[in-house]
Structure 1
């Protein structure tokens, strides 16, 4: 159970509601179920099987789980563009809370810390600040912060994320969806998608109609999987200001770059 003083201000109301469940149930289980329910919120086909499972599991406490989902969305609203408290205009609410409970709860299922926001901003500014309409790939995405930072500088781009951890993959899907990034998120080993493929999502393919969405995809629909299978080489994007210092390198058009 996370103490209020250890929780960032935008997440404190959510933490109060979350603790009502973590007091009764395993914290890792509650967080995992919360993530699943948030992903389902953006699926236009829904997930009746998941809903029935959670209702059976939580019984009278299922409504409390839904309240937690609501409070997390409120935390995002409060955290994005919150004056001097957030100069980046993006906010990783679910990732921040993950780190909070990781610090106070020992579990093999919850044990990661993500790149701090200022470092994400710095790396994005260096790599994609002069790029538009490119394909941006994070092969070890965590909660998706690098992509959220890149979205500030290369908004009209397609974003691709991979992580071998299921919870991280879903957190990235949620973050991309909330922040209006278009692309794909995949749970697999980024070095080889073959036998490591677990699941994948298409993010915001209905955004042109004003509808944020998460849609499950097959491996055959996965852009990164196709690239790896073809053994394609990833071309580095060279910002214009470096072209003079690096003669002979031609500026590519629409291409793909990695954040590492």
Structure 2
């Protein structure tokens, strides 16, 4: 049966019984599990078992509603998470006011990532709006984001995967280079569709590899010693 209910209405309703932040985080993590092609099935079941059967079904309906909203009339690249997060969860704490999408679009047009290369990055990605803005100019790039807030990382990760944008999202402190976890969006080797795979710091592109760590990696006779370089907003 078709419904015009937004995904957020399901979460708000569940939030009356449970903590809304928990419901939202569980919802995000369930989606990540679902998009990992069975690799995180145990974690998915662990989350679902915390809810009664009708509530778990409501979360699956919320996922369906989210996909319809993100389709955005066939154009995609619509951030359905950011406004909900700011209104219901962050309330502007810790400076978590996400940049309005029109401003992100203007910044992307000024930077012109399509002219820079094949990789674009945002070291404080939030829900991924700047990466969306860059994707409007060049969807074929690889997109990299990082954030100190795990919930933001999950929002950005889902936004990339459901829009078919490949790349990496790292949960880390980019100022201190402390790394907590990361996920990669890539094409599945068998099915050829975007899926999520959790990675370690040895595979991360967003983690700044310091000279001490680089000495442990096999490097084919470099002419000069490599120095760490800072990640740029759009291209690296």
TM value normalised by structure 1: 0.73
Cα 1:167–1:111, aligned 2, differ >3 Å: closer, same or farther?
Answer: farther
How is 1:84-163 mapped onto 2 (pairs within 5 angstroms)?
90-102=77-89, 112-131=96-115, 133-163=117-147
Cα 1:192–1:208, aligned 2, differ >3 Å: closer, same or farther?
Answer: farther
* Secondary structure at 1:24 match in 2: coil
**Aligned residues of 2:121 and 2:233 also touching (Cα < 8 A):** yes
Unaligned runs of 5+ in 1: 1-10, 82-88, 235-255
Please give the root-mean-square deviation of Cα atoms over the aligned residues, in Å. Answer: 2.8
Aligned residues: 217
Return the alpha-carbon distance in structure 1 between the equivalents of residues 166 and 234 of structure 2.
17
Cα 1:25–1:90, aligned 2, differ >3 Å: closer, same or farther?
Answer: same
How is 1:179-198 mapped onto 2 (pairs within 5 angstroms)?
179-193=163-177, 196-198=178-180
How is 1:177-256 mapped onto 2 (pairs within 5 angstroms)?
177-193=161-177, 196-206=178-188, 210-225=192-207, 227-228=209-210, 231-233=227-229
More helix by percentage: 1
How is 1:30-45 mapped onto 2 (pairs within 5 angstroms)?
30-45=23-38
Of 214-223 and 57-66, deviating more is 57-66
**Aligned residues of 2:108 and 2:133 also touching (Cα < 8 A):** yes
* Secondary structure at 1:204 match in 2: strand
**Aligned residues of 1:79 and 1:91 also touching (Cα < 8 A):** no
**Equivalent in the alignment of 1:47:** 40
Return the alpha-carbon distance in structure 2 between the equivalents of residues 175 and 217 of structure 1.
18
Cα 1:228–1:185, aligned 2, differ >3 Å: closer, same or farther?
Answer: farther
1:66, CA displacement in angstroms? 1.7
How is 1:5-84 mapped onto 2 (pairs within 5 angstroms)?
13-60=6-53, 61-78=55-72, 81=75
TM value normalised by structure 2: 0.80
1:55, CA displacement in angstroms? 2.9
**Equivalent in the alignment of 1:258:** 233
Of 166-175 and 54-63, deviating more is 54-63
Cα deviations by residue, 1:210-239 (Å, 9 ceiling, x for unpaired): 4121110010000122545554335xxxxx
**Aligned residues of 1:187 and 1:200 also touching (Cα < 8 A):** yes
